Chains A and B, each alone.
Chain A
Amino acid sequence: MATKNIMIVGVGGQGTLLTSRILGGLAVRGGYDVKLSEVHGMAQRGGSVVTFVRYGEKVAEPVVEEGQADVLVAFERLEALRYAHFLKEDGVVVVNDHRIDPITVVTGAAGYPDGILARLGARHKVVSLDATAVAAAMGAPKAFNVVVLGLAAQFLDFSREDWLAVIEAVVPPKTVAVNKQAFEAGYKK
């Protein structure tokens, strides 16, 4: 199989590191070679963050190049727009339909773009869900990222059972049940 290129993008603090660990765990379970590249440190403080996940028979570089992503998983709309040029022409955007204003917008230095989903949809297949609202309704607002992963699962190469097993292995023990529930909330049968 050709190497699959996935990007997880969001705002520092949204849990991109946990979700990349879940994807990494799935790739290992699937018997693939896998490389992930993460951002730690200063950029995590509310900044734009990106994680690369690549799996296949043999993976060389740990980064996804522009124009090479198969799936872009975005935890926030503006971040989906920021990284959309990384997608292949037939790449898919899975986006949390949620807005977090960057400081440049809060201070009035810039405007938050309108119609992001439509702009993305003009070029790519887009699936979206207000996962933030879904998770909040479940009483587990932090688990929105796993709701988004559930939505993304239809474009990845792993079974529902694989997902649930890896979630159980990766997330903190106390949050296993709620994260499984979050995954199911996003998952399309």
Chain B
Amino acid sequence: MSDKALMLGNEAIARGAWEAGVKVSAAYPGTPSTEISESIVKYKEVYAEWAPNEKVAVEVALGASIAGVRSLASMKHVGLNVAADPLFTASYTGVGGGMVLVAADDPGMYSSQNEQDSRMVARAALVPVLEPSDSAEAKEFTKLAYELSERFDTPVMVRTTTRLSHSQGLVELGERVEPADKPYERDIAKYVMMPVNAIRRHPIVEERMKALSEEDLPVNRAEYGDLSIGFVASGIPYLYVKEALPEASVLKLGMVNPLPRKLIEEFAAKVGKLYIFEELEPVIEEQVRSWGIPAVGKELFTRQGEYSAALLRDRILHQPATARPADDAPARPPILCPGCPHRSVFTALSQLKLHAAGDIGCYTLGAVAPLSVVDTTVCMGSSISTLHGMEKGRGAAYVKDWVAVIGDSTFMHTGVNSLMNMAYNRATGTVVVLDNSTTGMTGHQDHPATGKTLRGEAVPAIDIAGLCRALGVRRVHEVGAFDLEALKELLRQETAADELSVVIARAPCVLLKGQTFPNRCREVPDKCKKCGACLKPGCPSLTRLPEKNIHIDAMCTGCGLCQRLCKFGAIETVAR
């Protein structure tokens, strides 16, 4: 009997890649995809790395594939945009060793800035997509993806969603195969995508997709039951159909691009009413309708958020949810941790009445009350370039009360390109790098400026200040993130300067392991004037008591920010 283990969807994908004999894995962390890399690095046969961004990761995977080994690149949906450039042409070159790209979508936006549908990207890139429904399938489909990749000479996408990536289910463990490294054969017509070669590759890509659409794959499976009603579903929504309508007929699609047209036509002919039940965009629905098959989809089911069994019961069975409404409970949005260095920097920005062009990371929470200093957040690296655009649109005076704020990991990801642009095109704005020595929000992954790799090896850390200088920035300053007065003085000086500047505000993420917090802050009740100045940064360790004075709880790390804001000496720092 084989072993079974309870695994996250992401752990199962990593296991599948390992069992398939993968040798190289590259990724940039991003919820909900991060645990794929964190799991695969534990398999010693796999070389796994954090790349500075997803474009680099896909190119690393492609290089390994061209060199004849199986490779993996994983990313969240918006990371796929960054990686789109190599992906769209890797589709033309095809592969040597099997190459799989995992794209993790986030319907419901648990931790993302949009809820785009990676299947649309895959369709545009002419790349096949497998979509598992649970952890067991996540492992099996990943293995199948390698087979298809090599048989059809194409990168293959495995698409997951937050609900699958972060759900655990039982997985049957298998052995690893060790495919022989393919001997290198120079093939310029296949791997050099200049026009003359690409023109010849394009029809090959289309033939490949046609052949795949006609391939008889067991992962595409018609489950006939009540023939009056039929669903086409894949991924997690398939489970909702099984939960809410166990008797209905279902065509479960394991491959969602290209679609198995013949199978869908057969299924549609056998069932009465046909529903397409797919989260996010009507990718399957629009294709099925274009074949002249009547189907119901987005007129009943939303393009937004996650689906549920309750949604099906409501729309198909007309059984509205019977649960009572939720109790009225004050919202508990995510917030910066007690002792977070970003809070100190945002307090400085708030006191100086500066606007911040924001970026992607925990510090996006600087947009939330009571801090409310981050005015824009779009995508990785965009803080610096949007600030630059503001200046070029409205002149240097316009950005005197603006800064860009970007974390160290995000700066490494794509911020460095944007800063290069500012230096090159003679900008005068101020960029604040919030250097907390890690990729914080995704759970503490290393990057090129931390001095450690995914495998835990010590490596020379990129010096962020030196890098900025190398790009041509002359005004580069480093300051402790909790040194509020020095920070404010620097920000005053640099926003006033008529030259581009970078302020690196430094303090480790409070959740980074290995730190000790010997002190904590404590209220001195008889000195408290109940003014509330200490509450302005929104530290969750502080509570206003019914008598309006404050209490500091045991979560306090002793960062001292509230103490600095108290003019009355009503907060002191004491040993823990």
Contact = CB atoms under 8 A, between A and B. Distances in A.
A110 B369 CA distance: 13
Interface stretch (A35-43, A148-156, A174-182): A35-43
Contact of B163 (A34, A37, A46, A113): A37
B239 interface: yes
A111 B330 CA distance: 7
Interface in A112-143: 112-113, 119, 141
Interface stretch (B58-66, B208-216, B316-324): B316-324
B310 A65 contact: yes
Contacts of B310: 65-66
B198 to A, nearest CB: 38
A145 to B, nearest CB: 15
A109 B369 contact: yes
B469 interface: no
B369 A107 contact: yes
Contact of B337 (A36, A46, A81): A46
- A interface bracket (residues with beta carbon within 8 Å of B): 35 or more
A164 interface: no
A65 B332 CA distance: 21
Contacts of A78: 329-330, 332
Interface in B239-297: 239-240, 242-243
B197 interface: no
A102 B332 contact: yes
B332 A62 contact: no
Contacts of B542: 106
B330 A42 contact: no
A126 to B, nearest CB: 14
Contacts of B443: 40-41, 44
Interface string B135-179: 000000000000000000000000000010011111000000000
Given A12-B334, A78-B332, A104-B331, A42 B239 contact: no
A11 B337 CA distance: 12
Nearest to A17: B166
Contacts of B239: 60-62
Overall SS of chain B's interface: loop
Contacts of B166: 37-40
Contacts of A68: 323
B309 A46 contact: no
Contact of B169 (A40, A44, A62): A62
Contacts of B329: 78, 81-82, 113
B330 A60 contact: no
B111 A42 contact: yes
Contacts of A65: 308-310, 321, 323
A86 B323 contact: yes
A44 B333 CA distance: 10
A173 interface: no
A103 B538 contact: yes
A40 B327 contact: no
Given A35-B168, A40-B443, A102 B331 contact: yes
A101 B543 contact: yes
B528 interface: no
Given A28-B4, A35-B169, A61-B309, A43 B111 contact: yes
A33 B308 contact: no
B474 interface: no
Interface in A27-75: 27-28, 33-48, 59-63, 65-68
A70 B134 CA distance: 23
A65 to B, nearest CB: 6
A8 interface: no
B393 interface: no
B67 interface: no
A66 to B, nearest CB: 4
A99 B442 CA distance: 27
Nearest to B536: A107
B353 interface: no
B31 A41 contact: yes
A46 B334 contact: yes
Contacts of B358: none
Contact of B544 (A63, A86, A103, A106): A106
A174 to B, nearest CB: 13
Contacts of A82: 326-327, 329, 332
Contact of A40 (B111, B323, B325, B333): B111
8 smallest beta-carbon distances between A and B, as pairs: A67-B323, A41-B111, A41-B31, A110-B330, A47-B334, A102-B332, A66-B323, A62-B167
Given A48-B331, A85-B324, 19 more contacts: A13-B337, A34-B169, A36-B6, A36-B169, A38-B8, A41-B32, A42-B110, A43-B334, A46-B335, A47-B333, A61-B309, A65-B310, A66-B323, A82-B326, A102-B330, A103-B335, A105-B330, A106-B538, A106-B540
Interface of A: 11-13, 20, 24-25, 27-28, 33-48, 59-63, 65-68, 78-79, 81-86, 100-113, 119, 141
12 contacts: A35-B134, A37-B166, A41-B441, A42-B111, A61-B239, A82-B326, A83-B326, A102-B332, A103-B369, A103-B538, A104-B332, A113-B328
